[in-house]
């Protein structure tokens, strides 16, 4: 790969930003990468591990002369960050983000950006249960999807350049409108996370099953629930508050399906249960065939897992 952006600024230095840096360095996609994190401790850690070419003590300093600014902060903080950096953005630069909600991000960020600055929201569908600057690694985005959500009237050249950057980071890239993105992610990510949090909470509340038993006898399903439920609480709080409508719609549909399964179990309708499980099993096969997971048993999930 060759250089796509002369300078990239990463605002927020957690798992995703850290992985962007290492992957960008691997591919030689940027001449310089600056970074900023609100926490002094995070900035100190970033400097210690060599994360970013320059770690700045303000977002304003980080975005100076940047050709691409990536907002890698929780969804609820993006509007405030955009307002802070807006007067200091280089004319013609592109501002993007990595948030897993898009309509709310567009509403929060777009009004603060000056004319001549291109806004192309994005969402890499990759991650682990780990967070913080030390959790990133160069291969996180390899063969994972990144969804770009360019608003109406977005500059095609800016969108195409950001697409090339994400492809250089290893991603497959697709485009969606914000509302459709939020509905798709409510199905594939947001509601499953809520269910995982709930199931782990049920185990925690069930007095007849001790903590030691939950840990000692965890079967694969519960292990995966706990992996998901270990995700960053600030990020997921903001996701649900900012994708309320789509999440509640899918949660309502989930509740209806759950009631139907409860009834089938109660009345002993084995045929209904078998047909349902056969239908849902096909979804798993489709995920494996699409190269988004493997059929190999994974007891404890490796660092490269999504």
52-86 pLDDT, tens digit per residue, is 999 999 999 999 999 999 999 999 999 999 999 99
Superfamily of domain 5-177 in the CATH hierarchy: NAD(P)-binding Rossmann-like Domain (3.40.50.720)
Q: What is the distance between the alpha carbons of residues 273 and 271, in angstroms, rounded to a whole number? A: 5
Q: Is there a common fold for 5-177 and 180-289?
A: no
Average pLDDT, the chain: 91
Q: What CA–CA distances, in Å, run from 13 to 47, 55, 162, 249, 301?
A: 11, 10, 20, 33, 23
**Start-to-end CA span in the chain (Å):** 24
Q: What is the distance between the alpha carbons of residues 122 and 83, in angstroms, rounded to a whole number? A: 19
Checking if the pLDDT of 302 tops 60, the result is no
Q: What is the distance between the alpha carbons of residues 124 and 141, in angstroms, rounded to a whole number? A: 7
Q: What CA–CA distances, in Å, run from 47 to 11, 62, 140, 260, 275?
A: 15, 14, 21, 54, 55
With contact defined as beta carbons under 8 Å apart, do 181 and 123 qualify? yes
Map out the domains of the chain as residue ranges. 5-177, 180-289
**Among the CATH numbers 2.40.50.140, 1.10.3720.10, 3.80.10.10, 1.10.3660.10, which is that of 180-289?**
1.10.3660.10
- The structure's pTM equals 0.85
The DSSP bridge partners found for residue 55 are 35
Tens of pLDDT, residue by residue over 136-175, are 999 999 999 999 999 989 999 999 999 999 999 999 999 9
Tell me, what's the pLDDT at 299? 47
């Amino acid at each position: 790969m060759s250089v796509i952006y002369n300078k990239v600024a990463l605002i927020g230095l957690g798992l995703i930003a850290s992985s962007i840096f290492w992957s960008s360095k691997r591919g030689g996609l940027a001449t310089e990468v600056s970074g900023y994190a609100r926490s002094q401790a995070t900035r100190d850690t970033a400097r210690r591990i060599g994360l970013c070419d320059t770690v700045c003590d303000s977002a304003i300093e980080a975005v100076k002369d940047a050709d691409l600014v990536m907002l890698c902060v929780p969804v609820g903080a993006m509007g405030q960050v955009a307002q802070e950096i807006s007067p200091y953005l280089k004319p013609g630069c592109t501002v993007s983000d990595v948030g897993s909600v898009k309509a709310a991000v567009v509403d929060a960020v777009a009004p603060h950006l000056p004319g001549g600055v291109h806004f192309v929201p994005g969402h890499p569908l990759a991650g682990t249960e780990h967070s913080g600057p030390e959790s990133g690694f160069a291969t996180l985005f390899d063969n994972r999807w990144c969804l770009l959500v360019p608003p109406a009237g977005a500059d095609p050249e800016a969108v195409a350049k950001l697409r090339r950057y994400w492809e250089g980071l290893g991603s497959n890239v697709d485009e969606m409108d914000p509302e459709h993105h939020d509905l798709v992610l409510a199905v594939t990510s947001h509601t499953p996370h809520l269910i995982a949090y709930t199931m782990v909470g049920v185990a925690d509340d069930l007095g007849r099953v001790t903590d030691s038993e939950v840990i000692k006898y965890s079967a694969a399903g519960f292990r995966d629930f706990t992996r998901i439920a270990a995700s960053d609480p600030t990020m997921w709080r903001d996701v649900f508050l900012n994708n309320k409508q789509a999440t509640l719609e899918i949660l309502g549909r989930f509740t209806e399906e759950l009631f139907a399964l409860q009834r089938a179990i109660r009345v002993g309708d084995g045929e209904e249960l078998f047909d349902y499980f056969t239908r849902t099993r096909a979804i798993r096969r489709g995920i494996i065939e699409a190269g988004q997971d493997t059929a190999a048993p994974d007891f404890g999930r490796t660092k490269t897992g999504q």
